[in-house]
Chains A and B, each alone.
Chain A
Amino acid sequence: MTLPTATESKDVILEVCNLSKYYPVNQSFFSGKKALLHAVDNVSFQVNRGEVLGLVGESGCGKTTTGRLIVRLATPTSGRILIENTDVADIKGQGMMEFRQKVQMIFQDPYESLDPRMTIFDIVAEPLNVNGIGTFEEREAQVEEMLNLVGLAPPSAFLFRFPHELSGGQRQRVAIARALVVRPSFVVADEPTSMLDVSIRTGIMKLMAQLREDLGISYLYITHDLAVARYLCDRIAVMYLGQIVELGDSEDIVKKPVHPYTKALISAVPVPDPAIERPIPNIKGGVSKPIDPKPRCRFYDRCPESESSCAEAKNPELRDIGGGHLVACHLL
């Protein structure tokens, strides 16, 4: 499948082509039958320089797996990932060091992603230390500058404290400072606000938005919250059971959803905008796991609009319905 590149003139920083990741699972404890869980299944998208792409979907749809594949914490079963036109799979040696500075990740859980035995200074300085960037004084200055930037001021009040002495929001700011201290050009942000108290979320979201303005970073912003995605992202990709079912400009996705799953998602999320017409959620059943899925549309069993033809048809591919709005559905 070749993705219709709507904006070929733009500078593409990340290109994901037909990316798949299958995990072997044991169907049941007694039968030794091996099955494959299609965590990410034939996913393609691109992120332009300076852009924020939101990856939205319910729990278990493969958002984190996609992110981990991009930053090379996991190796794909098939497919290609190009960062600034270099294939991530080919990177080794010195190139790996450059890659680790260019691409960073912010993790979901700030209570778990900071080493409890390290001080804030050591945590934020670690990427500089392991890559041998700068003298000690320069690192120290950079760490302080970064802490200021993420709103942990004055830095001296935080430098030599341990993660457990900080609040959840402060910890996530530390995690952000650490990811950005090497001045990456691309950041995978895996639900950086989902483990935080609602009252702190907006602060972190505003920070992410502001850092993007200031530092010109491109994000892949993973979230299950459409409202968050709409606030932060230029474009949104909606994922369902390992596949992208709809991709387009944020406003298009939120105001004019086309795919039945996106419609259902939007009707389930409170979007604070009375102009948006909200259809009644009429989705059937619950989310399953994509273990050895049938070759038809993944959403068929739960789709409120499904027709008998959908049962026989192959899995729909993403099609451009105009203006770079891509949808994978037979009913268009």
Chain B
Amino acid sequence: MNELVPTHETGSASLAEPLWKIRWKLIRRGIAQNWEIFKESRIGMLGIILIIAFGIFGAMWPIMINTVWDPMVYDPVVGFDPMTMHPSPPSATHLFGTDPIGRDILAQLMYSTGREFLLGVLSAVITVVIGTAVGTAAAYYGGFIDTFFMRIADIILLFPFIPLLVVIGSMVRLSFLPFAVIMGVLGGFGGITIILKAQALSVSVRPYIDAARIAGGSDFHIIVSHIIPNVLPLSFLYMMFSVTSAILSEATLSFFGVLNIDMSWGMMIHTADVAGYLFDFAKYWWLWAPAGLAITLFCAAFYMVGRGLDEVVNPRLRKR
């Protein structure tokens, strides 16, 4: 060490608490502060309330099927109620009625909720992880890497993937998890890359990036410790919008009956459609309205949370 350094009282040189504890406290405080901002947004709070409501609704499925409901009657896929004609309108035994082949609509709705969460969140996480990594790399390295991934994004954005999946799906019927992964990957290399690259570009010209280089940080260190943490809030925001788009795609493809999925909200409408009941949709409203409403509200909920987060991430949008 430099002997010219005057030895000021250097403190005890030991932290009051272990470092991880301090960091954990800082994270908690950061979340609390952001929550305060988020709370100001009515639309965001409405979204949170809706998501919690869906969460409770979905969590009720295993409870109901194990306690109140007879699996023979209420199983969402193979259940059948021999006591009435089908489809039966809402009644005391079937609050939301039954579908054309005698299955309980409410049970189907509940059963599907958890799977919609899984599909939406899984594909959104894949989207955001890929989008953040690719966008950051494209922004930082530029050149060939940038051009390559931007062309892929253009192709994904311009290409009509839903019709293509309808065609492909009628040959190879995708099951639940592969579909979630495909949606996630398509999303990750698509539009989100362009948005996150723009953000990474604006971060990578900030003086603190130069400062990190002066400190001796490698490219990898700079990307991982400085660029990604500063892009992450935006990634998180777009994760919410990705959930919406994954669910909508699933509903569309299920409606066309090209997915190998035993039950989902889209499948419920598909079932009503192939049995011909949608021609008299006003009379048989319970066959499509609950599922349609669930899809709409579920997508809206994540969209609204995204709008609320927008105010946290972009301080300029705040009212105060």
Contacts and interface: CB of A to CB of B under 8 A. Distances in A.
Nearest to A108: B207
A65 to B, nearest CB: 13
Contact of B26 (A154, A160, A175): A160
B249 interface: no
A187 to B, nearest CB: 10
A154 B6 contact: no
A64 to B, nearest CB: 11
Contacts of A112: 206-208
> What 5 A-B pairs have minimum CB-CB distances, sorted nearest first?
A100-B216, A141-B13, A127-B215, A113-B207, A112-B207
27 contacts: A68-B210, A71-B214, A96-B216, A100-B214, A100-B215, A101-B216, A104-B214, A113-B208, A114-B211, A115-B208, A115-B211, A115-B230, A116-B208, A117-B230, A126-B212, A126-B217, A130-B216, A130-B218, A140-B14, A145-B8, A148-B8, A149-B6, A156-B15, A159-B15, A160-B26, A214-B4, A215-B5
Contacts of A115: 208, 211-212, 226, 229-230
Interface in B39-65: none
A131 B211 CA distance: 14
Interface in A121-175: 126-127, 130-131, 136-137, 140-141, 144-145, 148-149, 154-156, 159-160, 175
A66 to B, nearest CB: 15
Interface string B100-138: 000000000000000000000000000000000000000
A183 interface: yes
Given A68-B210, A136-B19, 4 more contacts: A137-B14, A183-B2, A183-B5, A215-B2
Which of B26, B207, B226 has the most C-beta atoms of chain A within 10 angstroms of its own C-beta? B207
Interface of A: 68, 71, 73, 96-97, 100-101, 104-105, 107-109, 112-117, 119, 126-127, 130-131, 136-137, 140-141, 144-145, 148-149, 154-156, 159-160, 175, 178-179, 182-183, 214-216
A101 B216 CA distance: 7
Which of A115, A140, A156 has the most C-beta atoms of chain B within 10 angstroms of its own C-beta? A115
Majority SS of interface residues in chain B? loop
A301 to B, nearest CB: 33
Contact of A144 (B11, B208, B213): B11
A136 B15 CA distance: 11
A243 to B, nearest CB: 25
A107 B211 contact: yes
B221 interface: yes
Interface in B166-221: 206-208, 210-218, 221
B317 interface: no
A119 B230 CA distance: 14
A73 B210 contact: yes
A216 B5 CA distance: 9
A182 B16 CA distance: 25
B280 interface: no
B168 to A, nearest CB: 42
Given A112-B208, A115-B208, A214 B216 contact: no
B173 to A, nearest CB: 45
B164 interface: no
Contacts of B8: 145, 148-149
Given A117-B229, A137-B14, A126 B5 contact: no
Contact of B1 (A108, A130, A183): A183
B294 to A, nearest CB: 38
Contact of A130 (B4, B14, B221, B230): B221
Given A130-B217, A214-B5, A144 B26 contact: no
Given A107-B210, A117-B230, A127 B11 contact: no
Contact of B4 (A114, A127, A216): A216
Contact of B22 (A73, A117, A149, A160): A160
A13 B16 CA distance: 41
A145 B207 contact: no
Nearest to A125: B215
A3 to B, nearest CB: 27
A149 B5 CA distance: 9
Contacts of A119: 26
A71 B26 CA distance: 34
Contact of A141 (B10, B26, B216): B10
Nearest to B10: A145
A214 B4 CA distance: 6
A116 B215 CA distance: 16
Contacts of A114: 208, 211
Nearest to A144: B11
Nearest to A71: B214
Contacts of A126: 212, 215, 217
B216 A127 contact: yes
Nearest to A133: B216
A156 B226 CA distance: 24
Contacts of A68: 210
